[in-house]
Structure 1
């Protein structure tokens, strides 16, 4: 093998990341739009281009600077069994969710991921201490996801790529259900997101704790409006 080529990810770890990125993972991601449904209703997100631009902004402004940056730190904390650091990161997620809907989302998905991990690793003496610790937090989704991914041999960058693509698929599906967009439009939006995800992951990896943030005021306003929206399909 040429020295300048990266070491291939073991097949088992690659498949585990695909599994974690799958919309079929039973954590409930399909039931949330993270403000997109109210953006369609109130903010003029009414076309393929508008949806794509909205989600690209959300990727770079909210995900890369917030949850993805946190997952970068959380994967290392889980691998070191640094429980204090894990709790600190989990508290950051809870304290920075700007609306009740967004906090309930991360709590519900975190609990579901914790349940999934417990079912996957019953009887595994090496993994269960971390899984039991997760259940005591209470878990948020980014921290629970980081534990699931830390069990693989994947690099932090690969973990972030899988996380972001799973998020992108869920959000595109939310867009297709919220407005009149066809599957082909959805695939074009997903292609734009996939092209942008590597740069977002690299940005997240480079952030220090002091640079991590969760400040998206328009998203918070739309999320608050969604809480009282008369007709809605999604829980956020």
Structure 2
């Protein structure tokens, strides 16, 4: 178990109340409701489980694990390379907007807690996974626990989006979140094993839905 202060910091970082704007993105869920028939608790649970294992774990989660290690090693070039990978692999304008906006907001929040934040991020337009990894690297928790927090924060935001967009009741949302919580440890273990060559951000249907969301007639979310 991480020491109490590290555990509390990870809980803080995973909180959907963190003022970085994660609640305003559905990452394709809202478009999926209109164009793929995502209309029930069972469908939403399967959708998010697939997104966890096939997209999130292979891409941003794997990168976050590598970035935490790089931040702790003080490897600025490695950090820049990982950050560039995120920017170059966003498959839609909305996904790029999300990682840039959440990254900027996270850095602004970090300035309240780490005096060297402005210096560390000078000249680096940090993406969200890279900014989160910096914060996680300062907690003293293990890379594994940092990734668990990153993944659970993602899961909470996605379930909240599904509850609003499908729509679902709060109990249904909690059942989906329980399923994702059970699956996250295996996803983290897999993500931490991936090399640079194995890390990927290829999710064609998700990219198509994100692009279609840009012109969706009525929507609640920014992606």
TM-score range, shorter chain: over 0.9
The corresponding residue for 1:55 is 48
Q: Is the 8 A contact 2:28 2:209 kept in 1?
A: yes
Where do 4+ consecutive residues of structure 1 move more than 4 Å? none
- 1:65-104 matches, cutoff 5 A: 65-104=58-97
The corresponding residue for 1:168 is 155
Q: Deviations over 1:187-212 (max 9, x none)?
A: 00001100000000000001111100
**2:174 pairs with one of 158, 183, 187:** 187
Tell me the TM-score normalized by structure 1: 0.93
The corresponding residue for 1:158 is 145
What SS class does the counterpart of residue 194 from structure 1 fall into? helix
Q: Is the 8 A contact 2:38 2:166 kept in 1?
A: no
Ranges in structure 1 where 5+ consecutive residues have no aligned partner? 1-7, 123-127
Distance in 1 separating the partners of 2:165 and 2:64 = 29
Distance in 2 separating the partners of 1:170 and 1:181 = 14
RMSD: 0.9
Q: Say if 2:33 is the partner of 1:46.
A: no
What SS class does the counterpart of residue 211 from structure 1 fall into? coil
Q: Deviations over 1:88-124 (max 9, x none)?
A: 00000000000000000000000001001112123xx
Q: Is the 8 A contact 2:41 2:168 kept in 1?
A: yes
Distance in 2 separating the partners of 1:174 and 1:180 = 9
Distance in 2 separating the partners of 1:135 and 1:179 = 41
Ranges in structure 2 where 5+ consecutive residues have no aligned partner? none
What SS class does the counterpart of residue 219 from structure 2 fall into? coil
The corresponding residue for 1:145 is 132
Distance in 2 separating the partners of 1:47 and 1:10 = 40
Distance in 1 separating the partners of 2:70 and 2:121 = 12
Q: Say if 2:11 is the partner of 1:24.
A: no
Distance in 2 separating the partners of 1:135 and 1:186 = 39
**1:35 pairs with one of 22, 28, 34:** 28
Give the deviation of 1:131 after TM superposition: 4.7
Distance in 2 separating the partners of 1:132 and 1:183 = 42
Q: Deviations over 1:59-90 (max 9, x none)?
A: 00111100010011100110111100000000
